[in-house]
Structure 1
Amino acid sequence: MSGRDGDPRTFTYFVGIGLGHSLSPPLHDFVSYSLDLGWKFKVEECARVEDAIRLFREPTFAGGVITMPYKTAIMEHLDGLDEYCVKIGACNNVYRAVDGSLLGSNTDWCGVEACLATASSNGKGKPALIVGAGGAARAAIYALHERLNCNPIYVVNRDKGEVDALLLDTKSYGPNLSLVHLDTLTMARDVSQALSPFYIVGCVPDFKPQSAEELEGWEILTYFLQTTTQKGVLLDLCYKPRRTRLIQMGDQYNWHVIEGIMVVGRQVQEQYRLWCGEDIANKISLEEAWKVLQKAAENSRAINF
């Protein structure tokens, strides 16, 4: 098996831990076939970040998608990082430069931006809210603030230390960014209707709240979803299960909800732009690619429960 015109590149990869629910293989295999690239997409569980790098250093490597827990750890093993990777502080995409070096990028942000803006442009320039303070939250903040001009951005997260780290890491976004940690229901109630969030982005795994901090965070979310006069857009990056608790609650209060699988589809063109160039990536039939992804989601027992 070989790539197009004797190109040694043969495989694209999805690396991380806990990847059994991934919907990426049929999507990427369809794109590769439609572009006549001859690349096969492989899901690789890697016990160590070094195992992923070993795959990427092979001459057959064509491109890589990185997920938890290696979005930060992989950066020090690469030959270079682009501006998105540096500013967001997380890497979810690795590609090979013309000189053979391995470079890191971040395309999560463009998936978030496209999902929100396509659903409604009314949230541009308005307040937003994110749930979580990890790597996905950083990409969401970049999309919300740098691309959609949202301000302030409220943060709901059970761990104050993680929020402190998030505040520190996003200082590079400029002095105009206002991140507000809402850790009590009282603080949420003090937010006026005019400053209620229009975009809400979930950046944590789906779990039943149990600790006092988690229960408080859930009450804050419930408050905004229930009382905000202008119902906005709720995107949950988690899609295991497909209908997360957050998605179900957004439906309950008549918000426009977007499942996490949409983020996968919304960044595929940017991923291939890095892997094989803009001219080839522009030939992707996004409508057909979305149909493949949607079918994979509907047929997946791993996320429909």
Structure 2
Amino acid sequence: MAYVIGIDGGGTKTSCLFKHVNAFSSHGETENSESMMVIGEATNPYVVGFTEMKKRLQGLIAHGMASYSVKPDDIRAVSCGLAGVGRTEDEQEVETLFQQIFSELNFSENSAFSIHSDSYIALRGALPPEVNEGILVISGTGSSAIGTDSAGDVFRSGGWGHILGDEGSGHQIGMHALKSIVKAYDARGEDTLLSHAILDYLDFAHPKELIRYIYRTKPEKKEIARLARHVMEAADQGDDVARDILYEAADELTLHVESLHKKCPAFHDRTPVMTTGSIFTHSKDLTNKFKRNIESKQLGIYESAYRSPAYGAALLARENVN
């Protein structure tokens, strides 16, 4: 049996998908296309370090091989999408580490390897078979957008991180929620259900405890992003402040699509626009507002993503098999 491996290495978790080389079809698949999947810890090298990244990826691949009875000689190609990897020197370091993984797992010396950004594998996974043009908007802990035209050129927007960017992301939604609490306390903003919900979640008795939390504790961005779920819950309960935070995030994500249209004149009002990420998955208010924006601004046709980022990585690995 001949297999390829697609890896989606994120800052929260890592997905590793094993696919038979003949399982890809221009018409899609009839079987569960992601049944041979294993999930592991985060492998963003800027979060866990390159050495730990290598250890975790090697362990996850080995676990998947054992789980699905895949032999080292069965692996024809591996493609990996990693968050935070973009510079040439980083890609070279990752490639060197994968060569070590291949050697230590006894892969064939003819096994192919390729590395891509996490956004690019997500785009490739989102595009349906025989569709070669589209835009993918990503909103999870961070946010960005990526698109490709029929010529194969790739265009990007966002991805600047939580200090310079990440508008419309879980982190920004969480920060806006915290700001709404202090504004309500100061009587500079409306009262909101978020005050009780988030202070209770953080086990704080008073809004002033947020000062130490932000400036002394300095929570990681994924911790702030977790607060987004309280915004979604408050919006579901009719809280205007929470709803407005989600609507503003949807508008920011729409700006990503508009920027890609400016960068690529080939995009038009029928270009597929797809979404991925936990914020789109769990917030109907944000998603519906985003859909309305796309339609009213004639930025494309909203569609569900075809498959996962790990599938996109596996597809890229398949393209490297002769």
TM-score band by shorter chain is 0.3 to 0.5
- Which structure has more RCO (C-alpha within 8 Å, separation ≥ 6)? 2
So what's the TM-score if we normalise by structure 1? 0.40
